[in-house]
């Protein structure tokens, strides 16, 4: 009786961690040396189509990029707050042109990234973007910049860049004359560096792109794992939706309907063959009804709405409320019931017989079971709404296929009904279990909005604490230690079956796994669901909890400390000039940390290398630390803006200035980069990048300190 219950729960638990388990982490080795690392790995060109137009007409600006083999380039059509840098176009000057709409990516690859919690898109080998522009006068001109980011599968490096170009009469002839159109003179800029070219990847186009990468600014590094193509992701999502369909079958609104519906087909049919045919039509009708629902959602919330749905506070809070509403229904607080008049009309249509009657009978079961299946259907649709157009359709197809299978199979083999477990209190237990899981899912949406907008209402400890409580209560419920509204009177006095005991052990084991996360454990299997560890207020064993307040003595209050932080309780600065002044005052070398909010390799170095007691001791006692975030978007006061001698562009934000410093001072544009320097900014040892060998890092620190003493 409980075999299906066991399979259901295990399947749902698998769904919870499916995203985090799809693409196992694949750590890379040491990064290459840091000398002359300023590189780009794409070649851009552009043209206008058509090449002749009239004033008031719209034309397309077509931009293409040849991408170096072994590298890929992020597209423009996913949420810019998700993490990776999206390709974007900026018109700095436009005289006679007016951009129409947004930059459009042409057929990029897509995948769901469990690290960033949303769908990203990217190009391999070649990228194409199109921007519509309206011609306003006969001799239009414009200056524009494309900002983009390329990443490699080789060693985890991500490199950003900019491509400047101009538009004038060489690209477009405006007027009504029939003269020969001026040939397009596509401006080509080769952005590949001749210094320290990277080792080429395999000659064939990779099927996958990494799910774990560092982003946020055009100069970041990530750890790359192969990830599935869109087709594979859709198959996995179909399987996930199929599991949700199986879950819907084991609810009090649906399970008792299986023998009743099958009995109707077998008794109202003149032959077994006719009953089977009707059952097939019934099953196909169910699939058709739910697939149409998925198509409607796809039309409303397709790929164009993915960015808004993924990160904007409004849809995330709405989804959070929907999940909590559904969870409350499952837990027995109230029943979701459709108007009886609508159900009665559908039921009346189903009694007319024929193919139409079978269809309306399927519609009736969908409506009657809504109070139980609605929360599950909502889960599938919400998860698919941020995806590409086809994903909601695939989700509903998977859900409805699982939902329709038993009706068809039991009609074909009526004798199987004898082995079907009878309805009873165990169905309510399934419903309550789903309620706890829905409640756990709801927190993910609230967390997503909280992280993007820095509300800090659901930090890592609070999130984990809530999950601990939810799954602990679920374990108690499975052991019948607590009773909810719709359980039998003698529910808590009944014995516990072996399947329920096994499921409670799974729930308690999950709680035990979560508990260390309250004190700073990384919980890597859940990294796609939990808030980042940087939101933790307390990490057991960190320098902040072990060391006196005099550690990392500072000369003054660090600028930007209200929103920028250094891990492990270390104190330091976030402005190079301020840190240099303190290093000179304290007569200590500088430890310069070029990092980023979205730099996964930076977080790995901090978690695995910086956390070592010997490393922490040296960082605390021997250096003035300055962490320079290259992806911090906070604007600087206008008095601090400057034009970089490297690229001739004005640097207006904290991140752009820090990125420019890394390139100009140390000829490097990927993170992490660690530099030990004197107060004047002169390097005292070979700068170090991604290397998780603690011994190597200690040697790097000791070498820099020794050279400082010699000097």
Q: Would residue 328 count as lying in a domain?
A: yes
Greater confidence (360 vs 69) lies with 69
pLDDT of residue 569: 79
**What is the CATH number for 625?**
3.40.30.10
The answer to the question of residue 534 being in a domain is no
Q: Residue 36's pLDDT is what?
A: 46
Q: Is the pLDDT of residue 706 over 70?
A: yes
Least confident of 58-62, 121-125, 373-377: 373-377
Residue 368 pLDDT: 63
| Phi, psi torsion values for 595, nearest 5 degrees | -140, -170
Q: Is residue 255 part of a domain?
A: yes
- 223 shares its domain with 254: no
pLDDT tens, residue by residue, 100-133: 888 999 989 887 766 666 778 899 889 999 998 8
Checking if the pLDDT of 207 tops 80, the result is no
**pLDDT band with cut points at 50, 70 and 90 for residue 210:** very low
pLDDT tens digits, 481-518: 998 887 877 777 788 989 899 999 999 999 999 999 99
Q: Token digits for 587?
A: 């007569």
What's the pLDDT at 226? 35
For the segment 231-245, the average pLDDT, to the nearest whole number, is: 76
pLDDT, position 211: 33
- What counts of helices (H) and strands (E) characterise the chain? 19, 19
Each residue's pLDDT tens digit, 469-478 = 999 999 999 9
Higher-scoring residue by pLDDT: 75, 290? 75
Domain CATH code at residue 192: 2.60.40.1250
Same domain, 349 and 486: yes
Rounded to whole angstroms, the Cα distance separating 233 from 387 reads: 11
Nearest to 129 by CA among 112, 146, 110: 146
Task: Dump pLDDT digits (tens) for 392-412.
Answer: 788 888 888 888 888 778 777
- The C-alpha torsion from 360 through 361 and 366 to 370, rounded to 10°, is 110
pLDDT recorded at residue 467: 96
Q: Tell me the per-residue pLDDT of 212-222, one tens digit each, with 9 for 90 and over.
A: 333 333 333 33
More confident site: 11 or 419: 419
Rounded Cα–Cα distance for residues 164 and 659 (Å): 18
Question: Residue ranges of the alpha helices (H) in 301-389?
Answer: 306-311, 313-330, 340-350, 354-368, 370-385
Same domain flag for 61 and 121: yes
**Helix H or strand E encompassing 673:** strand 673-677
Contact 594, 679 (CB under 8 A): no
Backbone dihedral angles phi then psi of residue 127, each to the nearest 5 degrees: -125, 145
CA distance 328 to 246: 21
Q: What is the pLDDT of residue 623?
A: 95
Is a pLDDT exceeding 60 seen at residue 436? yes
Q: Residue 696: its pLDDT value, please?
A: 92
Tally of domains in the chain: 3
Q: Tell me the mean pLDDT in the region 12-41.
A: 41
* pLDDT score, position 116: 64
Residue 269 lies in a domain: yes
pLDDT score of 545: 43
Token pair recorded at residue 31: 């990064």
Do the strands 71-74 and 219-221 form a parallel or antiparallel pair, or are they unpaired? unpaired
Element housing 143 (H / E): strand 141-152
In tens, the pLDDT along 133-149 reads 888 887 888 888 898 98
Q: How far apart are CA 217 and CA 224, in angstroms?
A: 17
How far is C-alpha 489 from the chain's CA centre? 45
222 and 240 inside one domain: no
106, two tokens:
């042409």
**Rounded CA separation 276/228 (Å):** 39
* The pLDDT value given to residue 412: 75
**Together in a domain, 703 and 600:** yes
- The residue among 350 and 255 whose pLDDT is bigger is 255
Whether residues 556 and 696 fall in one domain: yes
DSSP 8-state class, residue 612: S
Residue 184, helix vs strand vs coil: coil
**Structure confidence at residue 219 (pLDDT):** 36
pLDDT of the residue at 330? 80
Does 599 share its domain with 673? yes
Statement to judge: residues 194 and 263 lie in one domain? no
- What integer is the mean pLDDT of 405-427? 73
User: In angstroms, rounded to a whole number, what is the distance separating the alpha carbons of residues 349 and 564?
Assistant: 64
**Do 252 and 186 share a structural domain?**
no
Residue 235 confidence class, pLDDT cut points 50, 70, 90: confident
Confidence grade of residue 18 (pLDDT, cut at 50, 70, 90): very low
Judge whether 221 and 229 are in contact, CB under 8 Å: no
Report the pLDDT value the prediction gives residue 396, as an integer from 0 to 100. Answer: 83
Look at the alpha carbons of 635, 636, 642, 646 in this order and tell me if their dihedral is positive or negative.
negative
pLDDT tens figures, 89-100: 988 777 778 888
Residue 25 lies in a domain: no
User: What pLDDT sits at residue 627?
Assistant: 94
Stretch 294-303: mean pLDDT, rounded? 62
Q: Which of 15-29, 116-130, 192-206, 349-363 ranks highest by mean pLDDT?
A: 116-130
> Mean pLDDT throughout 332-348?
62
Question: For the CA atoms of the chain, what is the radius of gyration?
Answer: 30
Same domain, 263 and 322: yes
Last residue of a domain, one of 227, 262, 296: 227
Question: Would residue 30 count as lying in a domain?
Answer: no
606 pLDDT more than 80: yes
Query: Rounded to an integer, what distance in angstroms lies between the CA atom of residue 644 and that of residue 656?
Result: 10
Q: What is the predicted pLDDT for the residue at 15?
A: 41
In eight-state DSSP terms, residue 163 is E
Helix (H) or strand (E) holding 591: strand 590-595
pLDDT of 533-569, one tens digit each?
767 776 665 444 444 444 457 899 999 988 888 887 7
The pLDDT score that the predictor gives to residue 252 is: 64
**Given this model, what pLDDT does residue 382 score?**
62
**Pairing mode of beta strands 126-135, 88-95:** unpaired
Over the chain, what is the mean pLDDT? 74
309-323, 339-353, 413-427, 639-653: which has the highest mean pLDDT? 639-653
Compute the distance between CA of residue 169 and CA of residue 560 in angstroms, rounded to an integer: 47
What span, in angstroms and rounded, lies between the C-alpha atoms of 546 and 705?
Answer: 24
List the 126-135 sheet strands across, edge first.
97-105, 126-135, 58-67, 42-49, 189-190
Minimum mean pLDDT among 330-339, 390-399, 611-620: which range? 330-339
The Cα angle at residue 686 between residues 684 and 690, in degrees rounded to 5: 130
- The mean pLDDT of 672-697, rounded to a whole number, is 90
pLDDT digits (tens, 9 = 90+) for 253-272: 676 667 666 666 666 666 77
Which pLDDT value is given to residue 42? Answer: 87
Question: Among all chains, which residue has been given the structure tokens 């039991």?
Answer: 410
Look at residue 550 in the predicted model and tell me its pLDDT: 42
| 310 has a pLDDT exceeding 60 | no
Is residue 57 situated within a structural domain?
A: yes
272 shares a domain with 155: no
In a 10 Å sphere around its CB, with 0-12 CB exposed, 13-18 middle and 19+ buried, how is residue 43 labelled?
middle
Per cent of the chain over pLDDT 90 is 19
* Last residue within a domain, chosen from 197, 227, 257: 227
**Which range is most confident: 290-304, 408-422, 570-584, 643-657?**
570-584
Same domain, 195 and 244: no
Note down the domain range covering 51: 42-227
**What are the structure tokens assigned to 36, written together?**
């002359």
pLDDT above 70 covers a percentage of the chain that reads 68
> Which residue's structure tokens are 């087709």?
231
Residue 97 has a pLDDT of: 82
Domain boundary, last residue among 227, 248, 276: 227
Give a yes or no: residue 537 inside a domain: no
């Amino acid at each position: 009786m409980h075999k299906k219950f066991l399979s259901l729960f295990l399947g749902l638990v698998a769904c919870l961690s499916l995203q985090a388990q799809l693409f196992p982490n694949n750590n890379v080795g040491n990064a290459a040396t840091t000398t002359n690392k300023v590189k780009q790995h794409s070649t851009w060109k552009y043209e206008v189509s058509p090449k002749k137009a009239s004033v008031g007409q719209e034309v397309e600006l077509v931009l293409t990029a040849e991408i170096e083999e072994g590298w890929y380039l992020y597209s423009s059509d996913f949420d810019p707050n998700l993490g990776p840098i999206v390709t974007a176009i900026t018109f700095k000057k436009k005289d006679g042109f007016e951009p129409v709409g947004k930059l459009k990516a042409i057929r990029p690859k897509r995948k769901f990234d469990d690290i960033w919690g949303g769908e990203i898109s990217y190009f391999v080998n070649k990228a194409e973007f199109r921007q519509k522009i309206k011609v306003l006068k006969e001799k239009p001109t414009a200056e524009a910049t494309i900002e983009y980011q390329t990443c490699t599968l080789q060693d985890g490096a991500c490199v950003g860049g900019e491509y400047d170009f101009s538009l004038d009469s060489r690209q477009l002839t405006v007027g009504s004359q029939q003269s020969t159109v001026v040939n397009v003179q596509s401006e080509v800029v080769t952005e590949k560096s001749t210094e320290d070219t990277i080792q080429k990847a395999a000659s064939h186009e990779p099927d996958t792109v990494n799910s774990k990468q560092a982003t946020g600014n055009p100069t970041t590094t990530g750890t790359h794992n192969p990830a599935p193509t869109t087709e594979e992701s859709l198959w996995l999502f179909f399987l996930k939706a199929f599991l949700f369909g199986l879950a819907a079958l084991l609810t009090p609104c649906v399970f008792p309907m299986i023998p009743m519906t099958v009995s109707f087909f077998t008794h109202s049919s003149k032959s077994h063959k006719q009953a089977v045919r009707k059952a097939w039509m019934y099953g196909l009708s169910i699939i058709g009804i739910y697939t149409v629902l998925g198509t409607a959602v796809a039309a409303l919330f397709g790929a164009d709405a993915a960015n808004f749905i993924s990160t904007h506070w409004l849809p995330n809070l709405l989804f959070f409320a929907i999940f909590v509403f559904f969870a409350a229904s499952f837990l027995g607080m109230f029943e979701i019931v459709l108007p009886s008049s609508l159900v009665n009309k559908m039921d009346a249509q189903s009694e007319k017989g024929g193919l139409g009657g079978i269809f309306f009978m399927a519609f009736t079961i969908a409506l009657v079971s809504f109070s139980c299946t609605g929360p599950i259907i909502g889960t599938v649709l919400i998860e698919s709404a941020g995806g590409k157009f086809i994903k909601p359709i695939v989700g509903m197809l998977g859900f409805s296929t699982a939902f329709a299978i038993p009706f068809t199979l039991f009609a074909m083999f009526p004798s199987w009904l004898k082995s079907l477990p009878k309805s009873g209190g165990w169905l309510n237990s399934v419903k309550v279990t789903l309620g706890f899981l829905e409640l756990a899912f709801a927190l993910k949406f609230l967390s997503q909005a909280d992280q993007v907008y820095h509300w800090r209402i659901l930090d890592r400890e609070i999130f984990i604490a809530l999950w601990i409580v939810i799954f602990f209560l679920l374990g108690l419920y499975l052991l019948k230690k607590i009773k909810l509204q719709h359980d039998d009177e003698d529910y808590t006095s009944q014995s516990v079956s072996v399947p329920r005991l096994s499921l409670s052990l799974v729930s308690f084991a999950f709680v035990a796994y979560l508990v260390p996360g309250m004190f700073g454990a990384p919980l890597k299997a859940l990294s796609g669901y939990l808030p980042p560890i940087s939101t933790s207020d307390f990490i057991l064993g960190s320098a902040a909890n072990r060391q006196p307040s005099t550690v990392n003595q500072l000369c003054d209050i660090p600028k930007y400390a209200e929103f920028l932080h250094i891990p492990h309780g270390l104190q330091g600065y976030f402005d190079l000039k301020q840190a240099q002044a303190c290093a000179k005052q304290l007569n200590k070398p500088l430890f310069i940390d070029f990092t980023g909010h979205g730099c996964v390799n930076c977080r790995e170095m901090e978690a695995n290398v910086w956390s070592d007691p010997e490393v922490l001791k040296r960082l605390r006692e021997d250096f003035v630390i300055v962490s320079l975030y290259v992806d911090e978007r906070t604007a600087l006061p206008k008095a601090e803006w400057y034009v970089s001698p490297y690229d001739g562009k004005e640097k207006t934000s904290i991140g752009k200035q820090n990125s420019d410093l890394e390139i100009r001072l140390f000829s490097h544009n990927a993170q992490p980069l660690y530099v030990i320097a004197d107060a004047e900014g002169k390097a005292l040892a070979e700068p170090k990048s991604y290397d998780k060998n603690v011994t190597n890092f200690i040697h790097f620190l000791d070498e820099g300190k020794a050279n400082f003493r010699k000097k």
